[in-house]
Structure 1
Amino acid sequence: MIPALRSVLLAGAVMTLTHGANAQASHTILDFNRLDSWAQDDHAEALEVFVKTCPDLDDPDWRSLCALAQQQSPESARAFFELFFRPVLIEDGDPALFTGYFEPELDGARQRTERFRYPIHRMPPEARASNPWLPRREILTSGVMEGRGLEIAWVDDPVELFFLQIQGSGRIRLPDGRRIRVGYGGANGHPYRSIGVELVRRGIFEAHQVSAEVIRNWVRRNPEAGPELLFHNTSYVFFRELPGLTADEGPRGAMNRSVTTLRSVAVDPAFTPLGAPVWVEKDGRDPMRRLMIAQDTGSAIKGAQRADIFFGTGDAAGQAAGQLRDPGRMVVLLPIQRAYALLPDGF
């Protein structure tokens, strides 16, 4: 059976499946030699990241592969992926788009002060019970959150707090040098609306000019229009404190495990299974060819060829992530039997 399977691989097999009510996706099974620079990657590093989250996968196909992965040596990592997986190009008609995200660090305090007066909120129970709940403007201006002890900490910059909500996790530096780790704790149920897109729509910037740093600077230069622009995004993210994470661990992703710099990627789980290895071919400035693991999701990450690469923690990571908006190709590695089950006639 293996030679026959390999001949199908080399030819490239294509089919179309329906994901949800309105989305169609084509699946093309590739050979590993069609992955650009596959042989040059550090497969052992990718395997180490895969092993962090694969025990959480419930499907029998994935469980058996996880058990095998835990027995591999660094030297056998590449052979493991090539022997037990097949690369599958999943496309839904939209071009590939890679962006980046990171874990920001903000200055803050446990108690409100003259300097630290912008709260990081836990999710109130009525927000969990209602979807959608109040939009961003009402949450911040109606007083509904005040006097309820919902503040995890207070920070000194409302613009950085806004971007913390976009990233979904971060570190808060306290005056005594300690740090609080916070992660996504829920949202108000309103759709994410990009303020970068809104700045382009208003004619303030061209699309190629927009980055996180450009948005920050514009909001700060416009003390009236800037805060008003932030209300354009009606989505509001709540947080939870994450005790127990060491300083060298990344923030927790959608699988509730720490993500890894330049090895973890956020995807749309309607197309890419969480926990799956993903081969990234990012073009544009500083091309990237490496095996990552789909360990996270994001409200703006929608589509078969849409991915958000985790760049790490702090300002340098934020600058690199904020500038990334590149084309390319993303190929998902699926267990052999699962990949070939996508074919119209199965095996």
Structure 2
Amino acid sequence: MRWRDLPGWGRDALHEAWNAWLRSCERPVAPWTALCAEVRQLTLADEAARHAWVMRRLQPYRVLAADGDNRPGLLTGYYEPEFDASRVRTSTHRVPLYAPPGALAAAGNRPLWTRQQIDTDPAVQAQLPVLAWLADPLDALLLQIQGSGRLRVQEPDGRVSYVRLAFAATNGHPYQSVGRWLLQRGEIRDGTWEAIRAWAAANPQRVDELLWANPRVVFFREEPLSALDAQFGPRGAQGVALTPLRSVAVDRDAIPYGTPLWLVSSGPVARLQRLVLAQDTGSAIVGAVRADFFTGWGDGAYTLAAGLKQPLQLWALWPRSQP
């Protein structure tokens, strides 16, 4: 494609995307390895110099579905939740978050216990190392769906630790949407988290039934959250820290990690025309014209991520064979 065919090209603040690009250059893969030295050299360059370099060194290609159809794809959003937690089980904090069990390696490709087995079988629970405890089972489910989160942990000695729980593994069972489960049964009219939480508050005796409709459980690893680390998101599947509003999860079978993408999406929640980096993936991110937009952390990030479900166009910016 020609650069002028990209809607909004030339009006984006590329310096905001440069931090994400520098992160990708921490774990570069072909064909980006050779360009990373130039990306670093442009760290302090002005916008005009960055735009000129991108247009000289890269060629935009329209990303299409596998059958060549140019119909719009789908953009959704995800974020990093923040919760209060306890290092020990208390009368209020009774929902465990687990590290990967030793049985995971022995299981190989076979699924481990279901969510219901983990919640109800003491013999299974004895094999699961607990990292922290939450007060609300829906918070724990949301943390697992998002794949990572920030915790303010009350330690046994009274200190408060700030940590990040990052995705480590799963129990191998397929993800099933609890919102869809409720919708199919006519229990709610829309599949938002607000509607799910309202249903749970009105039906506390059925919350376990709701949770067990999704057999998939995510296991986490704990990471320290320094002041510097707190300025970035969790590490995505590329192995680099995600940058709010500049990192996306993609289908890695369609788009290689580290690929700069021109993203265009308009809907009731956001109008986006910007450079983003493919740095993550997810089980629900399937297809070439499909992306999950990392919105950051906190209430504003949640609101944007929860509302994003709108048409998507993508262009991959690929290195030219000659400078």
Compute the TM-score of the two structures, normalised by the length of structure 2. 0.88
Aligned to 1:10: none
1:275 to 236, 258, 261: 258
Aligned to 1:97: 74
Aligned to 1:109: 86
Aligned to 1:165: 144
Q: Does residue 292 of the first structure (1) align with residue 273 of the second (2)?
A: no
Give 1:121-270 correspondences, 5 Å limit.
Answer: 121-130=98-107, 131=109, 132-148=111-127, 150-175=129-154, 176-206=159-189, 209-243=190-224, 245=226, 246-270=229-253
Aligned to 1:11: none
Q: Determine helix, strand or coil for the equivalent of 1:316.
A: helix
Q: Determine helix, strand or coil for the equivalent of 2:231.
A: coil
Assess if the C-alpha contact under 8 Å between 2:243 and 2:294 holds in 1: yes
Q: 1:148 to 1:129 in 2, by over 3 A?
A: closer
Q: 1:253 to 1:205 in 2, by over 3 A?
A: same
How far 1:147 moved relative to its partner?
3.6
> Which consecutive residues of structure 2, in runs of 5 or more, have no partner in the other structure?
none
Aligned to 1:19: none
Aligned to 2:5: 34
Q: For residue 65 of structure 1, what is the amino acid of its counterpart? A: L
How far 1:37 moved relative to its partner?
0.7
* Separation of aligned partners in 2, 1:125 and 1:337: 48
Aligned to 1:81: 54
Assess if the C-alpha contact under 8 Å between 2:188 and 2:199 holds in 1: no
Assess if the C-alpha contact under 8 Å between 2:29 and 2:258 holds in 1: no
Aligned to 2:28: 57
* Separation of aligned partners in 2, 1:332 and 1:129: 40
* Separation of aligned partners in 1, 2:143 and 2:310: 22
How far 1:230 moved relative to its partner?
1.8
Q: 1:96 to 1:67 in 2, by over 3 A?
A: same
Q: 1:144 to 1:268 in 2, by over 3 A?
A: farther
Q: Determine helix, strand or coil for the equivalent of 2:198.
A: helix
* Separation of aligned partners in 2, 1:240 and 1:144: 22
Assess if the C-alpha contact under 8 Å between 1:266 and 1:307 holds in 2: yes
1:62-90 deviations in Å (ceiling 9; x for gaps):
11111111111243221222122222222
Q: For residue 102 of structure 2, what is the amino acid of its counterpart? A: P
* Separation of aligned partners in 2, 1:81 and 1:227: 52
Q: Determine helix, strand or coil for the equivalent of 2:224.
A: coil
Q: Determine helix, strand or coil for the equivalent of 1:120.
A: strand
> For this pair of structures, how many residues does the alignment match?
306
Aligned to 2:306: 322
> Which consecutive residues of structure 1, in runs of 5 or more, have no partner in the other structure?
1-29, 339-347
Q: For residue 280 of structure 2, what is the amino acid of its counterpart? A: D
How far 1:276 moved relative to its partner?
0.9
Assess if the C-alpha contact under 8 Å between 2:19 and 2:243 holds in 1: no
- Cα RMSD over matched residues? 1.9
1:109-142 deviations in Å (ceiling 9; x for gaps):
1111111111110011212332322222112222
1:312 to 265, 282, 296: 296
Q: For residue 43 of structure 1, what is the amino acid of its counterpart? A: L
Q: 1:82 to 1:129 in 2, by over 3 A?
A: farther
* Separation of aligned partners in 2, 1:44 and 1:83: 17
How far 1:293 moved relative to its partner?
0.8
Q: For residue 70 of structure 1, what is the amino acid of its counterpart? A: R
Q: Which moved more, 1:252-261 or 1:136-145?
A: 136-145
Assess if the C-alpha contact under 8 Å between 1:213 and 1:322 holds in 2: no
How far 1:229 moved relative to its partner?
1.6
Q: Determine helix, strand or coil for the equivalent of 1:262.
A: coil
Compute the TM-score of the two structures, normalised by the length of structure 1. 0.83
Q: Which moved more, 1:62-71 or 1:127-136?
A: 127-136
How far 1:203 moved relative to its partner?
3.0
1:82-113 deviations in Å (ceiling 9; x for gaps):
12222222222574111111110111111111
Assess if the C-alpha contact under 8 Å between 1:127 and 1:133 holds in 2: yes
What is the aligned-residue identity percentage?
39
* Separation of aligned partners in 2, 1:330 and 1:214: 32
Assess if the C-alpha contact under 8 Å between 1:136 and 1:236 holds in 2: yes
* Separation of aligned partners in 2, 1:77 and 1:184: 34
Q: For residue 292 of structure 1, what is the amino acid of its counterpart? A: V
